[in-house]
Amino acid sequence: MADSKRKILITGATGGIGLLLEERLMADYEVVPHGRTPANDEQAERLRKADLEDYDEVLALMDGVEVVIHLAGEASPEATWDDVLGPNIIGLRNVLEAAREAGVRRVVFASSNHAMGMYDRDEEWPVYPHHLPRPDSFYGVSKVFGEALGRYYHDEHGLEFIALRIGWVAEDPLEADEDVLHAMWLSEDDTERIFRRAIEADGVTYGLYYAISDNPNRRWDMTNTMLELGYRPKDSIDDVRKEHNVVEGGKDTPDDWPEGS
């Protein structure tokens, strides 16, 4: 009898990254998409709806799940505290607690460059995973909270927790002019690559990992991402803009960072 596919829950599967991962992982995994409003008619037939602030509804999503990819939540760096409190704080706690109760093996958490964004605003580069968190917004604060709560669930309950500090995902990175965004661009193909490695990497039970493509002027260290997760980025902003543009030390960050990012 053929081995059954690994069951993966994707929260926030109706967003850009979630929809991309659902479509690209379906062939290899039993994917359970979660969200509020389906992105298309095909997804509407599969979508599981749950209020992440309702623990019982979250727990019901976890039946038979081995890995949770947690993308759901408020995603704007310009969000207020009230915007992030429910989905990013209470919702994340419910996801982790439900995963623990249901016996889920691993949670892959979509963290963000904004957990360390004050280093970027102050141009204090390079930034390493072991540096103290310096969030640039309430959104960034919520991601630091998520990383810390994931550490607690790992240490206290043995839940595997992989936090990906995602750079900037855009199908067309030239839609923005800022060098700091080009430097942290994560292509759609590299997005698939890093999440596959976060699902499959053996011997890793907790970690904070930057997730960025192979861009020049990159200021964020990915040594542990490559060594521990086995991630190998294959795309670069230079492939899109058709030029090689290395700026020693990197260009200045806008004074109003992260506004508009």
Instruction: Supply φ then ψ for residue 159, to 5 degrees.
Output: -75, 125
Q: Which residues are catalytic?
A: 139
Instruction: Using DSSP, state whether 111 is helix, strand or coil.
Output: strand
Q: Which tens digits make up the pLDDT trace of 94-150?
A: 999 999 999 999 999 999 999 999 999 999 999 999 999 999 999 999 999 999 999
Of the candidates 194, 168, 171, 192, the residue with the CA atom closest to the CA atom of residue 182: 168
Rg, the chain, Cα only: 18
Q: Which tens digits make up the pLDDT trace of 173-229?
A: 999 999 999 999 999 999 999 999 999 999 999 999 999 999 999 999 999 999 999
| CB distance 226 to 104 below 8 Å | no
